[in-house]
């Protein structure tokens, strides 16, 4: 007989009768729950780690029992995340321990229908053989008569959740092998940031850090859904709002960020420059700029040469445009009385004149060296401190932006004038000596054919308003991957060496000295390029690198144009690129024109895919869309495929660089299972095997790989290279082997070794500074003893500008760093971004060069003139000033100029990459709607790390499109039904979400509807769907080579897309109706 249950044991009774009516404590505890023991309580140890998803860099505590990870929680000590995790971070336990992760190497022989298991050692040996064979078969000593020392037969594309140490070895190994097609997710995500911020200020990273947003008086979030894409970082916006700040969200969609903002501003996707240009015009015409700051710290007073012609003169073009090649000659953009090393032009033309005048440099993405450098500037530009000269930068800005009136802003963007006026008022009133405002953006700005200029426009605004280098000010670039900042700092990018040193370009003559003469600045810290470069070459080639041989400079392969990720796709289609490494990247659904990515891989001889599970880039040959449509046949595809299971962040040690430029160390908690290995392991052992096979070779092409320093210690069951040993090399040491403390200690004579000069100091005193974990609550708001930020552990860049020219704070409320006259040095809350003992009134002696040429007021120490650049005389290939152009595919005619599109945009015409008519062009009406893509809280990038996670797949189970009720009525779309979205590239289907969050806008007298598409889906995983990137074209920003996927035109129709061969037939029909040919959209 059952015993009666006492009413006192009922939780509901205890709630009603005890002091816990809401059931938040012991009242609701049952006898069963009281007997449970938390997994954290029984753990053997707790290991410190960092979340591998977005770049907020949330700290984690990893709990281990019996050599298994049993729980992952937020670390409350972190001054960044304060113990919080978003849904993805909270699901990392399942990410790392899920039984769906593969543990065995899989191999697909050429033309085979199925995978088979392969021994790990055998697979590594086979891959090494293929690298050696392909390299030898495709080696080029010369290209068009120029020395290149390279192979175009091998390429690599990596993800941005790789550790810094992994990226460093990848770049080092592949460069030693002569591979130039080395790319990373950073190319397709935030490369525009490097150009936009770098050319404006001297460094290509965020000027501030997330925690500093709490001190902002106004925050404008644009090009970002901060609350959903970076939820934990958004807490600092809410801190600011609680302190009285005004939060403004400018976005095509009304999102959770909008709901928490004081003002939501709907905008047409791709029209941001018109909006920002309107604010600039308001500031200039009403003289609301922070004049003392502008005169002291910007190039506003600098006189531009009389040859310069603006878009006002040439209806949307700047002077120097060559319509035949779609490129600008920057000569006419220069300051009067100076010569600046341009970022475009043929490096072989007038070679001796280039060395003398230091002008011509490579056109292939050269502006990215501004990530932590500048252009060479010779001469002293003339200045007008009254700002009245019509050719001074200030007046050029006024004239350039004069047509960006509130009326024009409304015509272009769809933003009503009264709403626009509110934004201007809030921003201007919250800027000045006593107040500061911040801009926050993400890939909603970067992924456009003029994305670099979006960021330039915000940079101009922040300089005019005096918000750079000051607490609560700045520009926060929200990067979307755990170490995408690190992936550009230690670049697995074709055009950069570590620390934003440019890759050498092929030319008829050119040694180490010529390279330095062509790229080093005369003034500022970039003048030390020789020391940075020599120390890096010493790190790579050790004792072989000597001054007499240019530190093995000739071992570096040469680039001859663009070799970016999208150019690699074209090389695959042409049959030039034979072998491809995918290291945590999924271009089969994650890159623009995903169909073209798969067709390119179908032309390869071999493919190596490293990931947790069988992503679409590993299985396209078996079950991809082209197999279903009959365009490809598995048996006819000769690509040999190796799938290598990857280790998770809990199974390896290393550092991530978050969006604050902060390196944070994550410690290995457990060893990986089976054949799972880290990229560090894979790269190190692949290099070891290749070097062993080539040992004894006398072929000159093998010397760079054989002379490479590759003696890293290993540990554990798997022989994992010690990540700290790699970090120590990144940091560098002096001739006696002592770790260096900062980049000022680097020398150009070969006596110092440093793999990445901007990271010098991360291993100061032989201590892993990135592993520091002093709790945030025990520090001030800077949090300088939690991890380490580049450069030199500074958290706010250009913070010399936080003080007046005389060195004293602009106001007590906004103190950051200041000059201490008694101590004779700069001091403050942050590490001064300035020479610590240089007086504010210092004036360099005549003829001074290098750092000594910086004045005591030159706050932008990486710039050639020490100033923030409102106007960029070189470094931005599509113009010295931001200009509104329509996206490559747009249903709207450009109301501002006769020039419709960015004239310097990079196009890749191809039968599989057709462009569409735009604006008033015949056929544009076939694609009448604007598409924009975005991220969801529960998913991550191309979805490989979330669609295979049951928790996250359940939260967002299906691909969908967001449309307004008006568009749904116009096209007959039903809520929760199906829609087919079509462009000239492909057709996809999605569930329909009818919502007023995506409101129609009135643009230039007509209603424009926008369609929102999350970009996380593909046909594999628990949550499946078509990929949004099937629709997009390969049309690129000329500076960063990033794709335009945030604004393009399309059609939408009710019902599911056709199956089989009917899908490509539908696309061809749309092309026919729109009159699309190989020339469509390629006009200037």
Q: Which of 496, 507, 552 is nearest to 703 (CA)?
A: 552
Q: How many CA atoms lie within 13 A of 190 on its CB side?
A: 34
Residue 571: pLDDT band by 50, 70, 90 thresholds? very high
DSSP line for 786-822: BSEETTTT-SSTTGGGGB-TTSSBS-GGG--EEEETT
pLDDT at position 994 is 98
In the block, residue with structure tokens 């939690």:
786
Average pLDDT value for residue range 761-767: 98
* 395 found inside a domain: no
d(CA 386, CA 451) in angstroms, rounded, equals 33
Say what percent of the chain tops pLDDT 70: 96
- Kindly report, residue by residue over 894-922, the tens digit of the pLDDT: 999 999 999 999 999 999 999 999 999 99
pLDDT at position 360 is 32
Record the tokens describing residue 779, joined without a space: 């520090």
pLDDT at position 23 is 79
Number of CB atoms found within 10 A of residue 976's CB: 10
156 and 198 fall within a common domain = no
Contacts of 691 (CB under 8 A, 6+ apart): 705, 706, 708, 710
- Kindly report, residue by residue over 834-887, the tens digit of the pLDDT: 999 999 999 999 999 999 999 999 999 999 999 999 999 999 999 999 999 999
707 and 594 fall within a common domain = yes
540 or 370: which leads in pLDDT: 540
d(CA 872, CA 180) in angstroms, rounded, equals 29
pLDDT at position 354 is 38
Contacts of 163 (CB under 8 A, 6+ apart): 483, 486, 652, 654, 655, 656, 666, 678, 679, 680, 723
pLDDT at position 361 is 33
Lowest model confidence (mean pLDDT) among 10-14, 401-405, 526-530, 717-721: 10-14
379: pLDDT strictly greater than 90: no
Strand ranges inside 137-230, DSSP E = 139-143, 146-158, 179-184, 218-222
* 614 found inside a domain: yes
11: pLDDT strictly greater than 90: no
- Kindly report, residue by residue over 335-375, the tens digit of the pLDDT: 998 876 654 333 333 333 333 333 333 345 556 666 666 77
* 54 found inside a domain: no
969 and 1009 fall within a common domain = yes
Record the tokens describing residue 136, joined without a space: 């030898």
> CB–CB of 886/1008 below 8 Å?
no
Which CATH number characterizes residue 1034's domain?
Answer: 2.40.40.20
- By residue count, the chain amounts to 1084
466 and 562 fall within a common domain = no
Lowest model confidence (mean pLDDT) among 34-48, 389-403, 643-657: 34-48
Q: How many domains does the chain have?
A: 4
515 and 498 fall within a common domain = yes
* 358 found inside a domain: no
d(CA 229, CA 251) in angstroms, rounded, equals 13
Which CATH number characterizes residue 232's domain?
Answer: 3.40.228.10
Q: Which residues of 460-477 are buried (b: 16+ CB within 10 A; e: fewer)?
A: bbbbbbbbbbbbbbbbbb
pLDDT at position 771 is 98
CA-CA-CA-CA torsion sign (727, 487, 463, 223) = negative
> CB–CB of 65/94 below 8 Å?
no
Number of CB atoms found within 10 A of residue 320's CB: 18
Lowest model confidence (mean pLDDT) among 34-48, 61-75, 315-329: 34-48
User: Is the previous residue joined to 791 through a cis bond, with omega within 30 degrees of 0?
Assistant: yes
pLDDT at position 518 is 86
Q: How many CA atoms lie within 13 A of 1058 on its CB side?
A: 14
In whole angstroms, how far apart are CA 1020 and each of 235, 424, 584, 842, 944? 34, 46, 16, 62, 8
968 and 1038 fall within a common domain = yes
3: pLDDT strictly greater than 70: no
d(CA 444, CA 220) in angstroms, rounded, equals 13
Say what percent of the chain tops pLDDT 90: 91
Domain closes at, from 432, 461, 482: 482
pLDDT at position 353 is 37
Strand ranges inside 591-734, DSSP E = 606-611, 640-645, 654-657, 662-666, 714-715, 720-721
d(CA 1048, CA 593) in angstroms, rounded, equals 12
1040 and 979 fall within a common domain = yes
> CB–CB of 15/29 below 8 Å?
no
d(CA 756, CA 489) in angstroms, rounded, equals 8
989 and 1069 fall within a common domain = yes
631 and 536 fall within a common domain = yes
156 and 211 fall within a common domain = no
Q: Which of 230, 296, 275, 257 is nearest to 458 (CA)?
A: 275
pLDDT at position 348 is 38
Q: Which of 196, 231, 179, 1035 is nearest to 559 (CA)?
A: 179
Q: Which of 55, 1006, 49, 907 is nearest to 486 (CA)?
A: 55
> CB–CB of 970/1009 below 8 Å?
yes
Residue 385: pLDDT band by 50, 70, 90 thresholds? very high
Q: How many CA atoms lie within 13 A of 357 on its CB side?
A: 18
* 374 found inside a domain: no
Which H, E and C letters describe 245-298, residue by residue?
CEEEEECCCCCHHHHHCCEEECCCCCCHHHHHHHHHHHHHHCCCCCHHHHHHHE
- Kindly report, residue by residue over 639-691, the tens digit of the pLDDT: 999 999 999 999 999 999 999 999 999 999 999 999 999 999 999 999 999 99
Which CATH number characterizes residue 700's domain?
Answer: 3.40.50.740
First to last CA, the chain: 89
* 472 found inside a domain: yes
* 50 found inside a domain: no
- Kindly report, residue by residue over 590-599, the tens digit of the pLDDT: 999 999 999 9
- Kindly report, residue by residue over 111-157, the tens digit of the pLDDT: 999 999 999 999 999 999 999 999 999 999 999 999 999 999 999 99
Lowest model confidence (mean pLDDT) among 31-40, 572-581, 731-740: 31-40
Q: Which of 223, 945, 86, 298 is nearest to 584 (CA)?
A: 945
Average pLDDT value for residue range 634-638: 98
In whole angstroms, how far apart are CA 690 and each of 132, 478, 542, 640? 7, 39, 19, 19
602 and 680 fall within a common domain = yes
- Kindly report, residue by residue over 922-957, the tens digit of the pLDDT: 999 999 999 999 999 999 999 999 999 999 999 999
Burial degree of 80 (CB within 10 A; 0-12, 13-18, 19+): buried
Which residue range is the domain that position 257 belongs to? 191-299+402-482
* 386 φ, ψ (degrees, to nearest 5): -80, -15
DSSP line for 36-57: ---TTTT-SEEEEEE-SSSTT-
pLDDT at position 351 is 33
d(CA 526, CA 538) in angstroms, rounded, equals 19
708 and 654 fall within a common domain = yes
* 267 found inside a domain: yes
Average pLDDT value for residue range 442-457: 98
Q: Which long-range contacts (CB under 8 A, 24 or more apart) does 24-30 make?
A: none
Record the tokens describing residue 487, joined without a space: 């992936």
Burial degree of 11 (CB within 10 A; 0-12, 13-18, 19+): middle
Domain closes at, from 722, 738, 757: 722
* 1050 φ, ψ (degrees, to nearest 5): -160, 170
Number of CB atoms found within 10 A of residue 700's CB: 9
Contacts of 932 (CB under 8 A, 6+ apart): 252, 253, 269, 444, 1010, 1011, 1012, 1013, 1046, 1047
d(CA 853, CA 871) in angstroms, rounded, equals 22
> CB–CB of 175/167 below 8 Å?
no
220 or 341: which leads in pLDDT: 220
> Would you give the DSSP letter of residue 164?
H
Residue 39: pLDDT band by 50, 70, 90 thresholds? confident
């Amino acid at each position: 007989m059952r015993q009666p249950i006492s009413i006192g044991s009922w939780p509901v009774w205890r709630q009603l009768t005890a002091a816990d009516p809401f059931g938040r404590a012991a009242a609701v505890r049952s006898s069963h729950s009281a007997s449970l023991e938390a997994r954290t309580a029984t753990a053997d140890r707790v290991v410190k780690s960092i979340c591998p998803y977005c770049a907020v860099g949330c700290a984690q505590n990893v709990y281990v029992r019996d050599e298994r990870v049993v729980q992952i929680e937020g670390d409350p000590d972190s001054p960044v995340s304060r113990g919080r995790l978003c849904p993805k971070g909270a699901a990392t336990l399942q990410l790392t321990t899920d039984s769906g992760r593969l543990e065995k190497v899989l191999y697909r022989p050429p033309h085979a229908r199925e995978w088979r298991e392969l021994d790990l050692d055998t697979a590594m040996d086979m891959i090494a053989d293929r690298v050696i064979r392909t390299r030898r078969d495709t080696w080029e000593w010369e290209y068009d008569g120029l020395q290149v020392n390279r192979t175009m037969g091998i390429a690599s594309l990596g993800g941005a959740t790789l550790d810094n140490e992994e990226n460093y070895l990848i770049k080092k190994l592949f460069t030693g092998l002569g591979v130039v097609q080395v790319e990373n997710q950073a190319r397709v995500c935030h490369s525009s940031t490097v150009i936009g911020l770098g050319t404006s200020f001297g460094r290509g990273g965020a000027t501030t850090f997330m925690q500093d947003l709490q001190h902002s008086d106004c925050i404008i979030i644009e090009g970002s859904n901060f609350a959903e894409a970076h939820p934990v970082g958004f807490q600092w916006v809410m801190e600011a709002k609680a302190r009285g700040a005004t939060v403004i969200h400018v976005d095509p969609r009304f999102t959770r960020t909008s709901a928490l903002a004081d003002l939501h501003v709907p905008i047409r996707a791709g029209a941001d420059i018109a909006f920002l240009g309107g604010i600039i015009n308001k500031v200039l015409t009403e003289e609301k700029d922070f004049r003392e700051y502008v005169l002291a710290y910007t190039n506003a007073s600098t006189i531009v040469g009389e040859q310069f012609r603006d878009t006002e003169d040439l209806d949307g073009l700047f002077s120097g445009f060559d319509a035949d090649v779609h490129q600008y000659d920057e000569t006419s953009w220069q300051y009067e009385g100076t010569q600046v090393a341009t970022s475009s032009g043929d490096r072989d033309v007038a070679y001796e004149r280039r060395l003398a005048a230091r002008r011509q440099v490579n056109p292939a993405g050269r502006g990215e060296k501004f990530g932590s450098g500048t252009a060479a500037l010779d001469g002293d530009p003339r200045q007008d401190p009254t700002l009245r000269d019509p050719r001074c930068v200030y007046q050029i800005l006024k004239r350039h932006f004069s047509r960006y009136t509130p009326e024009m802003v409304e015509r272009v963007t769809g933003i009503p004038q009264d709403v626009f006026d509110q934004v201007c008022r809030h921003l201007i009133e919250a800027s000045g000596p006593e107040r500061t405002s911040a801009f926050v953006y993400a890939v909603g700005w970067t992924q456009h054919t003029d994305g670099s200029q979006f960021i330039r426009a915000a940079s101009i605004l922040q300089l005019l308003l005096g918000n750079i280098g000051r607490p609560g000010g700045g520009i926060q670039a929200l990067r979307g991957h755990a170490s995408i900042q690190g992936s550009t700092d230690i670049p697995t990018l074709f055009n950069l060496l570590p620390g934003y040193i440019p890759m050498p370009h092929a030319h008829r003559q050119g040694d180490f000295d010529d390279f330095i003469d062509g790229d080093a600045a005369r003034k500022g810290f970039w003048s030390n390029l020789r020391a940075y470069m020599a120390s890096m070459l010493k790190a790579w080639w050790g004792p072989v690198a000597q001054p007499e041989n240019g530190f093995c400079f000739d071992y570096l392969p040469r680039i001859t144009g663009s070799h970016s990720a999208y150019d690699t796709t074209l090389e695959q289609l042409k049959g030039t690129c034979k072998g491809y490494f995918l290291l945590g990247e999924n271009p089969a659904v994650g890159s623009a024109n995903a169909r073209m990515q798969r067709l390119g891989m179908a032309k390869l001889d071999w493919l190596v895919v490293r990931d947790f599970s069988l992503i679409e880039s590993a299985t396209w040959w078996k079950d991809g869309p082209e197999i279903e449509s009959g365009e490809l046949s598995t048996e006819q595809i000769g690509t040999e495929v190796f799938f290598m299971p990857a280790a998770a962040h809990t199974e390896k040690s290393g550092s991530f660089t978050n969006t604050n430029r902060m390196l944070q160390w994550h410690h290995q908690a457990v060893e990986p299972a089976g054949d799972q290995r880290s990229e560090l392991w894979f790269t190190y052992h692949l290099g070891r095997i290749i070097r062993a096979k080539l040992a004894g070779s006398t072929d000159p092409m093998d010397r760079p790989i054989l002379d490479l320093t590759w003696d890293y210690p290993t540990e554990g069951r798997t022989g994992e290279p010690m990540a700290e040993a790699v970090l120590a090399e990144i940091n560098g040491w002096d001739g006696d082997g002592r770790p260096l403390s900062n980049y000022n200690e680097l020398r150009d004579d070969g006596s110092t070794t440093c793999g990445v000069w901007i990271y010098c100091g991360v291993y100061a005193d032989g201590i892993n500074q990135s592993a520091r974990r002093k709790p945030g609550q025990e520090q001030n708001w800077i949090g300088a003893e939690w991890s380490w930020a580049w450069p030199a552990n500074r958290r706010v860049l250009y913070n010399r500008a936080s003080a007046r020219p005389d060195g004293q704070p602009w106001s007590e409320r906004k103190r950051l760093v200041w000059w201490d006259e008694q101590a004779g040095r700069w001091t403050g809350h942050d590490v001064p971004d300035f020479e610590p003992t240089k007086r504010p009134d210092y004036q360099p002696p005549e003829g001074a060069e290098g750092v000594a040429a910086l004045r005591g007021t030159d706050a932008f120490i990486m710039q050639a003139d020490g100033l923030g650049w409102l106007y960029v005389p070189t470094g931005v290939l599509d113009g010295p000033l931001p200009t509104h152009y329509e996206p490559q595919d747009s249903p709207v005619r450009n109301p501002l100029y006769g020039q419709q599109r960015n004239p310097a945009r990079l196009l890749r015409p191809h039968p599989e990459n057709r462009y569409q008519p735009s604006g008033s062009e015949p056929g544009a009406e076939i694609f009448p709607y604007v598409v924009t893509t975005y991220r969801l809280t529960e998913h991550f990038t191309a979805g490989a790390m979330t669609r295979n996670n049951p928790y996250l797949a359940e939260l967002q189970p299906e691909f969908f499109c967001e449309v307004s009720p008006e568009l749904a009525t116009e096209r007959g779309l039903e809520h929760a039904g199906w829609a087919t979205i079509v462009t000239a590239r492909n057709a996809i289907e999605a569930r329909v979400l009818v919502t007023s969050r995506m409101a129609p806008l009135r643009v230039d007298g007509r209603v424009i509807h926008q369609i929102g598409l999350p970009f996380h889906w593909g046909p594999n995983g628990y949550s499946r769907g078509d990929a949004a990137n099937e629709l997009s074209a390969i049309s690129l920003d000329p500076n960063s080579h990033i794709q335009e996927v945030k604004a393009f035109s399309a059609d939408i129709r009710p019902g599911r897309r056709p199956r089989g061969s009917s899908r490509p037939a539908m696309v061809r029909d749309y092309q026919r109706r729109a009159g699309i040919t190989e020339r469509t959209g390629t006009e200037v």
